Structure 1
């Protein structure tokens, strides 16, 4: 029982690809968070500048609460930023789950290949034991796939709840929001 140079090379390449994919997921999520923060910061600064100009232009100087419409718009913006932040986190989680699944499949493939090679030189009892181990590996991989699918569904449910909450916060009284929930699945 041995690993051929090609087995080692293929396993290393697949593992490096999966590590690169995981790193890229975090780089993308970080970029999206930076963009979200930049947009929110710019909008907040613009709102503050407008309020300061309005305050300076008043004769006589009075401190008043912003109009209800403006406060409602701020509430809606905040809810949208919250929803978008949770979407970024959910997308990153989905990507990492898919990458983890790919890596487990890579390792299981090489392990099953080694079991096949071992079975070639095993007696009947050893071959039966190897078949049981191979079946256990396949069942464990199927169980891991079910877990990642359940995690993906859980992420979808949390995102849907966040979407509903943010829409409820942002909605004007008496209006309905019509955004459809998005659905995702991890890669097979």
Structure 2
């Protein structure tokens, strides 16, 4: 099937290199997630201590309302920031995996084309229709993959846009609710 054992070895080496690159990408993403989660846990612990101390120093209802109203917005902003960072890590890893897979598919397509050419040169007379059919099947598979990959990229872009819009709306609603709580607390104090 292959012209020389060296070609087979080269194909195996390419597959191994791609597998190593994929593994490294996932390990890098996992490491970044661990770092993000450790930082978030540390910040949450520090904020919890600060908030507990602040709550223990409250002397009346107005102070409690003012304090609780001031806690909501920063907490929501930190949650949104964490989500954006986590999404960025996942999206970056996904993009890199897609790049590696697409490069490997392109290389595999090249190897299949070389194999078909090799087979057509060494096939008996009259096998041209079979070789042509095989080339057409490979071309159709490549076109289908390209269409699927393009549709997937468009779906991801649309999802990213929707997430950004939803985040913006959520932040505005939370800010409005926070302002309402502060205003309500001031009216009760008066």
Q: TM-score, normalised by structure 1?
A: 0.78
1 CA distance for matches of 2:2 and 2:9?
Answer: 13
Distance in structure 1 (CA, Å) of the matches to 2:84 and 2:163:
6
Map residues 1-188 of structure 1 onto 2, 5 A cutoff. Answer: 1-58=1-58, 64=64, 66-171=67-172, 173=175
Unpaired segments of 5 or more residues in structure 1?
175-188
Offset, 1:26: 0.9
C-alpha distance in 2 between matches for 1:52 and 1:164: 34
Larger radius of gyration: 2
How much does 1:48 deviate? 0.6
Tell me, yes or no, if the aligned pair for 2:18 and 2:100 is still in contact at 8 Å.
Answer: yes
Q: Quickly say closer, same or farther: Cα 1:159–1:144, change in 2 above 3 A.
A: same
C-alpha distance 69-59 of structure 1, shift in aligned 2 (>3 A): closer
Alpha-carbon contact 2:55-2:64 (below 8 Å) kept: no
Corresponding residue for residue 183 of structure 1: none
Moved more, 22-31 or 85-94: 85-94
Shift of 1:75: 0.9
Structure-2 change in CA distance of 1:161 and 1:32 (3 Å): farther
1:72–1:54 distance in 2 versus 1, CA, 3 Å: same
CA RMSD for the aligned pairs?
A: 2.7
In structure 2, the residue corresponding to 1:125 is in which secondary structure? coil
Q: Distance in 1 between matches of 2:164 and 2:29?
A: 19
Greater helix percent: which structure?
2
- 1:167 CA displacement: 2.6
- 1: CA distance, partners of 2:83 / 2:13: 38
Higher RCO structure (Cα 8 Å, ≥6 apart): 2
